[in-house]
Structure 1
Amino acid sequence: MFERFTQGARDVVSGAVGYAARAGEPRITEEHLLMALLDARGRTVSSVFASLGTAGLREQVAGALADARRRGGMSQADTEALAGLGIDVDAIVGRIEEEHGHGALAAGGGPVRALRRSFTPGAKETLRIALRTAVTHRERHLGDEHLLLALIERGGVAADALAACGVSYEDVERVLRGGGQQGDGLPAAV
Structure 2
Amino acid sequence: MFERFTKSAREVVEGAVGHAGRTQAPAITEDHLLLSLLDREGTRAASVLAALGVDRRREALEEALAQTRRRGGVSRADAEALAGLGIDVAEIVARVEDVHGNGALATGRGPRRWRPAGRRPFTRGAKGVLERSLRAAVARGDRHIGDEHILLALTIGPGVVADVLAEHGASWADVERVLAADGEGRAKAS
Q: 1:144: which partner in 2?
A: 147
Cα distance in structure 2, aligned partners of 1:125 and 1:30: 9
In the superposition, relative to structure 1, how do residues 169 and 15 fare at CA in structure 2: closer, same or farther (>3 Å)?
same
Cα distance in structure 2, aligned partners of 1:17 and 1:84: 39
1:66 maps to 2:66? yes
Offset of residue 78 of structure 1:
6.0
Cα distance in structure 1, aligned partners of 2:54 and 2:126: 24
Q: 1:174: which partner in 2?
A: 177
Root mean square deviation of aligned Cα: 2.8
Q: 1:164: which partner in 2?
A: 167
Q: Give TM-score, length-normalised by structure 1.
A: 0.82
Offset of residue 60 of structure 1:
1.5
SS in 1 for 2:54: coil
Gaps of 5+ in 2: none
Q: Is the 8 A contact 1:12 1:33 kept in 2?
A: yes
Q: Is the 8 A contact 1:24 1:108 kept in 2?
A: no
Cα distance in structure 2, aligned partners of 1:148 and 1:36: 10
Aligned AA (1:28): I
Q: 2:37: which partner in 1?
A: 37
SS in 2 for 1:27: coil
Deviation readout 1:16-50 (Å, 9 max, x if unpaired): 11121222222111111111111111211111122
Kindly indicate which of the two structures has a greater share of residues assigned to helix: 2
Q: Is the 8 A contact 1:133 1:146 kept in 2?
A: yes
Aligned AA (1:102): N
Q: Give TM-score, length-normalised by structure 2.
A: 0.82
Cα distance in structure 2, aligned partners of 1:17 and 1:10: 11
Matches within 5 A, 1:20-169: 20-54=20-54, 56-76=56-76, 79=79, 87-106=87-106, 107=108, 114-169=117-172
Cα distance in structure 2, aligned partners of 1:50 and 1:131: 23
Offset of residue 139 of structure 1:
0.8
Aligned AA (2:178): V
In the superposition, relative to structure 1, how do residues 128 and 81 fare at CA in structure 2: closer, same or farther (>3 Å)?
farther
Aligned AA (1:4): R
Gaps of 5+ in 1: none
Cα distance in structure 1, aligned partners of 2:49 and 2:64: 17
Q: Percent identity over the alignment?
A: 58
